[in-house]
Structure 1
Amino acid sequence: MDPIAVAAASVLVHAMSTDAWQQAQAAMVELWRRAVPEQGEAIDAELTQTRVEVLASRDSGDDAAEADLAAEWRLRIERLLRREPALADELRAFVDAVGALPPDAQARPDVTMEARASGSGRIYQAGRDMHITEGLREGSGVGNTPPGPPLGDDDDEW
């Protein structure tokens, strides 16, 4: 197995269920059209069909189907590389570009969070980054300062 073909197929099939899909499809079709112009339209249609299958497998929770689809595209990409070995650099660029898209363009997993607090307990939950500024007293530089009146002020002014 050619490592770049494995990586390209994996990134391609993964992108099919993300916001990166259109960019990945356009890049792969363009690459194919330059190498084998007569196959460009067919590859475009096959990518679209594969995406339908990937989305259906995601909906049904069939992880094996997605792995099988990635294996099919790995074989296609390996055949393309045997025909046009110079494409390896372009495939690496494809993997770097599509694989390094911002998180908003990548798949978002379903997240379920549950929490319980009692008394004066606090709960902070996030599906991604969290920045807590509560309790930060101006000029104190301490983020975990308990809530209360600002330092040096009278309680009745608060």
Structure 2
Amino acid sequence: MATITEAAGTALVGAMATDMWRKAVDGVTALWRRAYPDRAETVAAELEQTRRQVLAARQSNDERALQDLRIGWQLRLAQFLDLEDHQLAEELAAQLHRLVEEELRYAAAPSERNYTNKVEMKAVAFGRSQVNQVAGNQYNYGD
């Protein structure tokens, strides 16, 4: 779940300076409401505060403050998903993933998108054909 919380924290902070900020706040608050209904409004207020901090950091070109906000929400989301009810944790992680992929993914600037894209590869070989597929470096050291 570390990958999704890293991606979500980054996308969340990135969205705060865009027109997507309201969807980000509503989406994360809805997740919180499922696991911790009594804390959802507090989280919504903290997200509103994060938005003000993001806007101020961007205005002053304070990359360090933006990075601190990203890391803070990454940790917060990781703690949020660390539930005793593992089934609920998996459901919430899937919903968080959908929120990032379907709503917030492109809200952040390309330089702030530090999560990996999905790679899907398919190959078909007939007869005595050979297929090599690689999503990285491939080295052939001979037969």
Q: TM-score, normalised by structure 2?
A: 0.68
Deviations, residues 32-56 of structure 1 (Å, cap 9, x unaligned):
1111111101000000001100000
Bigger Rg, which one: 1
What letter is aligned with 1:32? W
Q: Return the alpha-carbon distance in structure 2 between the equivalents of residues 12 and 28 of structure 1.
A: 9
The CA deviation at 1:100 is: 4.2
How many residue pairs align between the two structures? Answer: 105
The equivalent residue for 1:82 is 82
Of all paired residues, the percent bearing the same amino acid is 41
Q: TM-score, normalised by structure 1?
A: 0.62
Against the structure 1 CA distance between its residues 90 and 54, is the aligned structure 2 distance closer, same or farther, given a 3 Å change threshold?
A: same
Moved over 3 A (4+): none
The 5 A counterparts of 1:26-105 are: 26-83=26-83, 84-86=88-90, 87-100=92-105
Deviations, residues 44-87 of structure 1 (Å, cap 9, x unaligned):
00000011000000000001101100100111100111125221
Structure with the bigger percentage of helix = 2
Residue ranges of structure 1 left out of the alignment (5+ in a row): 109-158
What letter is aligned with 2:104? G
Would the aligned equivalents of 1:9 and 1:74 in 2 still touch at CA under 8 Å? yes
Q: Return the alpha-carbon distance in structure 2 between the equivalents of residues 31 and 15 of structure 1.
A: 17
Deviations, residues 65-115 of structure 1 (Å, cap 9, x unaligned):
0110010011110011112522111111011122345xxxx468xxxxxxx
Residue ranges of structure 2 left out of the alignment (5+ in a row): 110-143
Against the structure 1 CA distance between its residues 2 and 28, is the aligned structure 2 distance closer, same or farther, given a 3 Å change threshold?
A: same
Deviations, residues 2-42 of structure 1 (Å, cap 9, x unaligned):
01000011110000000111111111101111111111010
The 5 A counterparts of 1:130-149 are: none
RMSD: 1.9
